[in-house]
Amino acid sequence: METTAIGKPVKDPVRLPLTYGGETVGQMVLGPRAGGPFTPADAALLEDLAHQTAIAVHAVTLHREAVRLSADLQRSRELLVTAREEERRRLRRDLHDGLGPRLAAQSLKVGSARMLYDQDPKTADTLLSELESDIEATLSEIRRLVYDLRPPALDELGLVGAIRDAAEHHTSHAANGLDISVHAPDKLPPLSAAVEVASYRIVQEALANVTHHASATDCVVRLTVTGELRIEVSDDGTGIPEGHRSGVGLHSMRERAEELGGTCSVGRSPSGGTRVLARLPLPDREKLASRE
């Protein structure tokens, strides 16, 4: 709280609260006049002055809060624009440096095979065989680009189905007999694309950490919906060592949650392992749907 003072402090000052709309926004501290205590007329005047001052203090507070919120909003917009442009640059690089040259090379092979087909069928057949492999590799690259934009499993299986599928994948590839169970409502409310992708990526990253670093035998993924979507991934592994610095994966999970106005924390689970807890806000229409 800021303080503005005129004159010297006295032993027993008069304190007048500055209130606006039933809320105390400050305090006016006054020393008595040299000639004696305040008269009733003085008191009435000071009460009126306190009222006017409270209005001014409230207006200044609102202005400063508006400036702060505006600055926060501007920073959020800058982060979103930066993230969008970085994604566009990555896609452009993948298309220009990856798919572009591959398709150009395939086009040349098609032309060469056509020219050699009558004169040297064997060489033409070799070129066509190479072209078949190139096309398969190109299709794999296209699938990777599509997956990076939005995992197809979300559209094919829904969020819970996609998470169950990811859990089965990590279970089958774990080297120490890891068991992963998924607990989720039979039906989730309609979720925005951003919430679906963020939820799936957070669970996916958490499961990757469990599989590769936790030395766990049991892991539980739990989704619950109240006024928010709560995602919890806990394991019975070795836990996070003291002084451990967050890597790219943990930072990515937090960033995905914060982009949507949510939170993501990583700490010890009740079983002594690691727990990832993400809370993602739901738009009003999704909150209403969750109560139906």
| Paired sense of beta strands 179-183 and 218-225, if any | parallel
List the CATH code of the domain at 87-149: 1.20.5
Instruction: Pick the closest to residue 277 from 290, 287, 268 (CA basis).
Output: 268
DSSP three-state, residue 196: helix
Q: Give φ, ψ of 54 to 5 degrees.
A: -60, -40
Residues 131, 104 contacting (CB under 8 angstroms)? no
> Could you tell me the two tokens for 53?
């001052």
Asked whether the CA dihedral 228, 233, 236, 240 is positive or negative, the reply is: negative
**Residues 292, 52: Cα–Cα separation, whole Å:** 49
- pLDDT the model gives residue 244: 55
Q: Which of 89-98, 174-183, 264-273 has the lowest mean pLDDT?
A: 89-98
> Could you tell me the two tokens for 91?
């896609």
- pLDDT the model gives residue 124: 84
Per DSSP, 39 falls in state: P
List the CATH code of the domain at 158-291: 3.30.565.10
* Mean pLDDT, range 115-132, rounded to an integer: 85
Q: Give φ, ψ of 178 to 5 degrees.
A: -65, 135
- pLDDT the model gives residue 223: 96
Does the pLDDT value for residue 286 go beyond 50?
Answer: no
Q: Per residue in 188-201, pLDDT tens? A: 888 888 899 899 99
In which band, very low, low, confident or very high, does the pLDDT at 288 lie, cut at 50, 70 and 90?
very low
* Residue-averaged pLDDT of the chain: 81
Does the pLDDT value for residue 287 go beyond 50?
Answer: no
* Mean pLDDT, range 125-129, rounded to an integer: 86
* Mean pLDDT, range 76-83, rounded to an integer: 66
**Residues 119, 222: Cα–Cα separation, whole Å:** 65
CA angle at residue 265 from 262 to 267, to 5 degrees? 165
Question: Structural domain boundaries of the chain?
Answer: 87-149, 158-291
